[in-house]
Amino acid sequence: MASNSRRDFLRSLGAAAVVRGAAAERPNILFIMADDHASHAISAYGSRINRTPNIDRIAAGGVRLDNCFCTNSICTPSRAAILTGQYSHKNGVYTLADRFDGSRNHVVKELRNVGYQTAIIGKWHLHTDPTGFDYWNILPGQGAYYNPVFIDRRQQKQHQGYCTDLIGDFTLDWLKQRDRKKPFFLLCHHKAPHRPWEPAPKYARLFENQNIPEPDNLYDRLEGRARCVAAVQMKVGEHNTKRDLKVDRPAGLEGDALRKWAYQYYIKDYLRCIQSVDDTVGRLLDYLDEEGIAHNTLVIYTSDQGFFLGDHGLYDKRLMYEECLRMPFLARYPAGIKAGTVNSDIILNIDFAPLFLDYAGVKPPAEMQGRSFRANLEGRTPGDWRTSMYYRYWMHNDNDHHVPANYGVRTKRYKLIYYYGKPLGMAGANEPATPPEWELFDLEKDPREMRNVYHDPAYASVVKELKAELARLQKEFGDTPA
Ligand code: CA
């Protein structure tokens, strides 16, 4: 039956059949992604430090994923993994410096091929022009918070205003002019709340007279952890710059007192940036309601990775610790996903592309390494769903943050991490190299990852099993050990 006559047929069947027919239509997909927004700064995830009423609307109307993880916790590689459904060693984007090869196949091209109209607005950060999009309007590189330049299909233009608000404006503009006869795949990618955490003027004084609660491990000494972890240069206070904190450090402030002081400055600006993101999410959700398309639009809110919010005394990401490994992921699709549900399956960023293709009725191409989790979102987790995940961070010689390359495996209960060790001279001539080291965490007994039990004889058999699992995953995904 041709699609037109099928539609006529359904129309003739009356209201009940029309509802079924509408649910079978390919959904619109609105993919909202922030940059460095940790799930523990979203109230739907139980944040102790802020409220995000609009992002929470997605959770209330849909599903919250509690174990969604990135495969490489850094901006550019995570974006490439989302597009291609592949690990870094397959898609060629290992580090912040790698350029994405736009001639490769990816999810946007696949969706456009089957009739989706495709657009991206905001942060792209893959160093080459976007491909597969009908429309793109992106920030150059990291972009700027205030009066940012955008590249509208190669035309550079500076705009007056605040970056997050402008990304919201441009996303709405595109929605209003879209072809209403075709489904859309629209990527709204925020720069916020990425460093240097510069808030909108209207939120500059938010939290001003408040003390933001500290994480319980802000003063972690990182004892017993790998030596290279104890030496990372992402410690709150000690490694924050003037640009991060926007104030001069009081003379003589050191150690825990410095950390305590700096935490308030950096976390408040980080949260202020999120408040604008939340506002923009609200505007987009309102538009879907007004337009009458909320029912058949899959709305996703996520972030390219998580972030340390003073946890372990750190900011930034890169490590395989929970705070930066975990991506927030909220999905609302009233036509298929039950409202107010929670899912704790292990989902990866390489699964996003197969998910979108599934909703569009397209079989994922063989080169994609992820798997659609549509059934998981809809409350029907397949019996053979994965019970472990593989992670790998490749930026070995980053002289800014001093986090050497590392990889590992996480199961529901345990996490085993291998660090290559710090190269000689990474932290200056007086800093020696550190040897390769391992960490093991028992997440059931130690969810905050405070106790490395790798050398504890009680865990010898766990170490052995996890090393075998790590090797199995490396083989399955076609990666090779360091
Ligand atoms: Ca990021």
Reference 447, options 412, 400, 417, 482; nearest CA is 412
In the structure encoding, which two tokens stand for residue 269, read together?
Answer: 């600006």
Q: Name residue, tokens 């997050």.
A: 164
- Which residues are registered as beta bridge partners of 158? 149
Write down the pLDDT at residue 432: 73
pTM of the model: 0.94
Centroid of ligand 1 to alpha carbon of 286 (angstroms): 27
- State the Rg of the chain over Cα: 23
Q: How far is the CA of 303 from the centre of ligand 1 (A)?
A: 7
d(CA 95, CA 54): 33
Distance 193 CA to ligand 1 centre (A): 9
Residue 308 Cα to ligand 1 midpoint, Å, equals 12
| Spacing, Cα 75 to ligand 1 middle (Å) | 4
The label of the residue with tokens 């994480």 reads 215
Instruction: Say what the pLDDT of residue 13 is.
Output: 41
Quote the ligand 1 centre to 78 CA distance (angstroms): 8
Collapsing DSSP states into helix, strand and coil, what is residue 343? strand
- pLDDT score for 428: 61
Query: How far away, in angstroms, is 173 Cα from ligand 1 center?
Result: 25
For residue 194, report the distance from its CA to the centre of ligand 1, in Å: 7
Q: How far apart are CA 269 and CA 96, in angstroms?
A: 24
Residue 383 is given by DSSP the state T
Distance from residue 172's CA to the centre of ligand 1 (Å): 24
Report the separation in Å between the CA atom of 77 and the middle of ligand 1, taken as the mean of its atom positions: 9
Which parts of the chain sit beneath pLDDT 50?
1-4, 7-23
Give the Å distance between the CA of 213 and the centre of ligand 1. Answer: 24
- The single-letter code of the amino acid at 38 is A
Q: What letter does residue 317 receive in the DSSP assignment?
A: -
Separation of CA 206 and ligand 1 centre (Å): 24
Ligand 1: distance of its center to the CA of 324 in Å? 10
- Overall size of the chain counted in residues: 482
Spell out the domain ranges in the chain: 29-202+260-387
**What are the two backbone dihedrals, phi and then psi, of residue 339, each rounded to the nearest 5 degrees?**
-70, 145
What are the residues facing 117 on neighbouring strands? 184
Give the pLDDT confidence score for residue 1 in this predicted structure: 40
Q: How far is the CA of 141 from the centre of ligand 1 (A)?
A: 12
What is the distance between the alpha carbons of residues 151 and 158, in angstroms, rounded to a whole number?
9
Residue 429: predicted pLDDT? 56
CA dist 113 and 88 (Å) reads 25
CA of 456 to the centre of ligand 1 (A): 34
CA distance linking residue 202 with residue 26, whole number of Å: 39
- Determine the distance separating the centroid of ligand 1 and the alpha carbon of 476, expressed in angstroms: 27
C-alpha 191 to ligand 1 mean position (Å):
8
State the Cα angle at 335 between 332 and 339, rounded to 5°.
Answer: 45
Output the CA 305–ligand 1 centroid distance in Å. 6
Fold entry, domain 29-202+260-387: Alkaline Phosphatase, subunit A (3.40.720)
pLDDT score recorded for residue 162: 98
Amino acid letter at 338?
A: K
CB 331 within 8 A of CB 27: no
Question: What pLDDT score does 427 carry?
Answer: 55
Distance of CA 62 to the CA centre of its chain: 18
